[in-house]
Amino acid sequence: MDDLTARLKAEALRLGFNRVGIAPAVSPPGYPNFLRWLDEGREAGMGYLRRNGPAREHPDSILEGVRSVVMVSVVYGSKRPVGEIGPRSGKVARYAWSDDYHRVLWDKLGALLDWLRAEHPEARGRVVVDTAPLLERDFARLAGLGWIGKNTMLIDRHLGSFTFLGALLTDLELVTDRPHETSHCGTCTRCLDACPTGAFDGPNRLDARRCISYWTIEHRGPIPDFEAGQLDGWVFGCDVCQDVCPWNRKAPGGRMPELEPRSEWLEPDLFGWLDEDQETWRARLKGSAASRARRAGLLRNAALVLGARGGVEAVAALARRLDDREEDATVRAAAAWALGRIPGDEAREAIARHRDDEDPVVREAVREAAARSTEDPGGSG
């Protein structure tokens, strides 16, 4: 298998992956930690993690008879940093700037599996890109691709942490790589200290209940009052703990053409988001990782970010969303929340028009917004 393993790795690199390594199909060392994380309720509302928890104990739940896990990584995004943004703009996590990485990696790993089957017709395999209960970062470490940093991200000394991971499971017993045993985080705690919401209460201790990425991507429906005011300008995901990591300072930008950033996701105009029609949104979300949050989630996030800023220039756009009775109740409730934090009569009047709204979710949000507006004439949060 030495020759086959070497040629398989060469083919993976030819397909455009930055790194490739092979891990044995074993129970991942981090599985007990994952179970403790679930026991502590840190998965927030991501119930699928708990439901699929037992399946993550061993990769044979994905492919019966699996012997080897081929792990690949590819750098995403550009070296363009997200700095100060304007009063109309929001921030989107770098991984969603391009076309949906799931499809890109799935196609390339599928081509790698086809190559393997051509070499060994009897080989069985399955491709995984966030699509099966596999602890990818654990297997990436076992395959020698890096260590798991204090922010729970896989870090490669040369590539940094802005990398997508994918896996090819096979029943062939390939030559495995030495696991990455050491951590190179040292005494650095920049990722933990920089988190805007304090989602880390120690190294490798992420609480999704306080994580901006969870609230802006995974959570459905209205966001609770406190968390709604803590989004820090992010309308999809959050990159803060990676942006401050020293290992990303000299890391390369992405080189895969299929993952080139799409301009509309770099610094989106949130006023425009609120006013765009359904057809425009369908076109924007087609083939985008941001579709995970759906249009309603993204508009909810946009309204909350604008409300937290308290700029009166956002009132008209927010009022139009609140006034549209055909709009999703979550979006309308977020618009009401935002208007309650913006000073001036125009915002208060927009809220007052909906004191008796037919939708109970909107009506409750309007009631709370009106109370806040009355208590705090300045509209500050």
Q: Is 269 a catalytic residue?
A: no
Please give the Cα distance from 368 to 280 (Å, whole number).
Answer: 32
At residue 72, what are phi and psi to the nearest 5 degrees? -125, 155
Which distant-in-sequence residues (6+ apart) come within 8 Å of 111 by Cβ? 15
Kindly give the pairing relationship between strand 154-155 and strand 91-92: unpaired
Angle at 354 between CA 352 and CA 355, to 5 degrees: 70
List alpha helices for 122-224, DSSP H. 136-142, 190-194, 212-213
Can you tell me the distance from the alpha carbon of 64 to that of 37, in angstroms, rounded to the nearest whole number?
27
Catalytic residue among 99, 107, 130, 232: 130
Q: Which residues contact 118 (CB under 8 A, 6 or more apart)?
A: none
Specify the DSSP element, H or E, that contains 235. Answer: strand 234-236
DSSP code string of 46-82 = -HHHHHTGGGGG-GGGTSTT--EEEEEEEE-S-S---
Which helix or strand (DSSP H or E) is residue 29 part of? none
Cβ proximity of 31 and 141 under 8 Å:
no
Secondary structure (DSSP) of 239-284: -HHHHT-GGGSSPPPP--GGGPPPGGGTS-BHHHHHH--HHHHHHH
Does residue 4 contact residue 12 with C-beta atoms inside 8 Å?
A: no
Residue 92 DSSP one-character state: E
Q: Which residue has the tokens 């988190």?
A: 195
In angstroms, how far is CA 55 from the centroid of its own chain? 22
Dihedrals φ, ψ of 342, to 5°? -110, 130
Catalytic amino acids? 130
